[in-house]
Structure 1
């Protein structure tokens, strides 16, 4: 009698866990015998592609406006000073160094800022 109770509790815990996993999403598939089997989706790490793309665009726009407002000489001097700092500052200097896209955006924004 005790074994039946333990087996029942184990089945209830397993079904509760599966039900909680299914609240995050599930998919169904048909087995070879025709039975529809529903399984929870895996909870892997999902990369927010749209947010990362927005961040990259924002960095380029920021660099363009900074380059347009400071001028290329002052901007280059500040990036060189940043490159001589700590490892974090060097990484920031690598990100902030002028590239063709930010120079193009600076040229376009230069007419608006002046």
Structure 2
């Protein structure tokens, strides 16, 4: 009897969590059997993807602006100083290294800035 009560409470807890998620939004889906079911809408995935893309865009734009403002020689000296530092500085140097796309775009931005 105790195991039956535990499984019932487990199912009830799962159902309560599902209803709490559905209160924030749900989507109607068509099953294989032709039955329309309602499932919680997963809006977090879209928000997380947008946040990651925004961070990547910010890093790329900062690389381009720094490279255009400092020039390639000064930028490379800053990178070598970072590579001589600790683990966090080395990770930053790896992240901020010059790639071909950044170099080409920075050339165009440098022409606009000068």
Q: TM-score range by the shorter chain?
A: 0.5 to 0.7
For 1:46, what is the secondary structure of its paired residue?
helix
CA deviations over 1:5-45 (Å, ceiling 9, x no partner): xxxxx7xx66655532321333444685x86544x427696
Compare CA radii of gyration and give the structure with the larger one.
1
Give the structure 2 partner of residue 4 of structure 1. none
CA contact (8 A) 1:65 1:105 kept: no
User: How many residue pairs were aligned?
Assistant: 102
Q: Which structure features the higher share of helix residues?
A: 2
Please give the TM-score of this superposition, normalised by the length of structure 1.
0.67
Q: Which structure ranks higher in relative contact order (CA pairs < 8 Å, sequence separation ≥ 6)?
A: 1
Q: Structure 1: 5+ residue runs without aligned partners?
A: 1-9
Please give the TM-score of this superposition, normalised by the length of structure 2.
0.67
RMSD of aligned alpha carbons: 3.1
Q: Structure 2: 5+ residue runs without aligned partners?
A: 1-8
